[in-house]
Amino acid sequence: MAFKKWLVEGKAVSRTFSRGGEEFTALDNASFRIAAADQIALTGRSGSGKSTLLNLVAGLDQASKGTLFWPSLGAAETLRPSHIAVMFQSLSLVPTLTVIENVALPLDLLGKAADREKLSLAALERFGLSDLADNLPEELSGGQAQRVSLARATVTSPQLVIADEPTGQIDHDTSRQVMSALRDWADETGAALLVATHDSEVAAQFPMSWQMTHGRLSAVEKETAR
């Protein structure tokens, strides 16, 4: 049996916040691991701690207790945008940049000026967005904007894509298209996915599912046919 390549490992991770002078635990003693090619749906009700967990895994936030490390990816400061990419629930495109400029942003941040145009166009083509390259975000529909976010998330070929309710603000059919495109890309590249969703139909498509309840994480492994 081959050893799994662990991308993320968390041990007894907690995250507390102060709210009105009172301590509030958003994530309570969670232990988890994410391996390469894992496709995990993170479910739970609003306020259950899903976004907190995603932020910690993406290196956007720091744990209050416990240990969190990225064995195959490196230090927290170097995770984004080369190894981990993030997508958000709300519109996440920079409004003053065109579609192609938005997609090229991670490459710009990495200093890959030479390949930026070629890689960006390839990413757009992959998700059927070539015609929209010179449009501004405000000229896109919600579904198109999320697909652009997807193109941007994948343009650096990251090993883990973290998405927080990526289909939360788009209609059902578009939602299916976006998730399908994301999983197709992950299948092709062997990248891992961690997708927070409150849509049970979306969650059902993922082979693995993690459940958040009042800040506590429980993992359920399952086999899911695509």
Partner 1 sequence: MIFTWMKGLVRTRFGRLAGASAGITLTVALVAAMGVFMVESNASMTARAVQAVPVDWQVQMVPGSDQVAVKTAIADAAGNAKTALVGYADVAGLEFKTDSVQSTGAGKVVGLPDGYRDTFSKGFRLLTGTYDGAVLLQQTAANLHAGPGDTIAVHRIGLADASVTVTGVVDLVSADTLFQAVGVPPGATPQAPPDNAVLMPLGQWQGLFDPQAQNRPDTVRMQWHVALDHGALVQDPQAAYQDVTHQGHNLEARVAGSALLANNLAASLDSARSDALYARVLFLFLGAPGIVLGILLTVAVTASGGDRRRRDQSLLRLRGASLPTIMRFATLEALLTAAIGVAGGLVLAALLSSLVLGHSILTAAGLPWLVGAAILGLVVALCAVLVPAAHTARTLSVANARQVVGRRSKPLWQRLYVDVALLVIAGLIYWKTAASGYQIVLAPEGVAATAVDYTAFLAPISLWVGAALLALRLSELALSRPAPLSRAIGPVASAVAIPVAASVSRQRGRIAAGVALTALAFGFASSTAIFNTTYQGQARVDAELTNGADVTVTGTTADPAGDKLGELASLPGVQGAQAMQHRFAYVGTDLQDLYGIDPQSIGSATSMANAYFANGNAAATLAKLAAEPSAVLVSDETVTDYQLKLGDTINLRLQGSDHQYHPVAFTFAGVVREFPTAPRDSFIIANADYVAQQTGVSAREVVLLRTNGDLSGVKAAAQTVAGGLAGVRITSLDDATHIIGSSLTAVDLGGLTRLELTFAVLTVAGATGLVLALGLADRRRSFAILSALGARASQLAPFIWVEGAMVFVGGAVFGMATGTLIAQVLVTELQGVFDPPPEAITLPWPYLLTALGVGLLATAGAVAQSLQDVRKTPAQRMKELQ
> Measuring CA to CA, how many Å separate 86 from each of 22, 54, 143?
30, 9, 17
Q: Find the shortest distance in angstroms from Cβ 63 to partner 1.
A: 12
Helix 99-110 to helix 116-126 angle (10° resolution) is: 130
Rounded to the nearest 5°, which phi and psi values hold at 202? Answer: -65, -45
Residue 213 backbone phi and psi in degrees, to 5:
-135, 115
Of 12 and 109, CB closest to partner 1: 109
For residue 221, the cross-strand partners are 208
Of 139 and 184, nearer to partner 1 (C-beta) is: 139
As a whole number of angstroms, the distance between CA 33 and CA 9 comes to 4
Contact pattern for partner 1 over residues 142 through 181, marking x by CB under 8 A: ----------x-----------------------------
Tokens found for residue 189? 């590249």
* 138 binds partner 1, rule: CB under 8 A: yes
Indicate which single residue of 48, 98, 144, 209 sits in contact with partner 1 (rule: CB under 8 A).
98
Q: Does 82 bind partner 1 (CB under 8 A)?
A: yes
* 76 is a contact residue toward partner 1 (CB under 8 A): no
Q: Quick one: which of 16, 76, 73, 43 has its CA closest to 195?
A: 43
Stretch that binds partner 1, among 30-38, 39-47, 130-138, 206-214 (CB under 8 A): 130-138
Query: Please, are residues 116 and 104 in contact by the beta-carbon 8 Å criterion?
Result: yes
Q: Please give the distance of CA 119 from its chain centroid, rounded to a whole number.
A: 20
Our finding on whether 60 is near partner 1 (CB under 8 A) is: yes
Q: Taking CB under 8 A as the rule, which mask of x and - marks residues 179-218 in contact with partner 1?
A: ----------------------------------------
Question: Which of 138/188 has CB closer to partner 1?
Answer: 138
Mask for 105-124, x = binds partner 1 (CB under 8 A): xx-xxxx-x--x--------
Residue with tokens 């992950």, as numbered in its chain: 186
Distance CA 30, CA 13 (A): 5
Contact between 134 and partner 1 by CB under 8 A: the answer reads no
Closer by beta carbon to partner 1, 8 or else 208: 8
> Which one, of 38, 102, 36, 32, lies nearest residue 67 by Cα?
32
Residues in touch with partner 1 (CB under 8 A): 55, 58, 60-62, 79-82, 85-86, 88, 90-98, 101, 104-106, 108-111, 113, 116, 136-138, 152
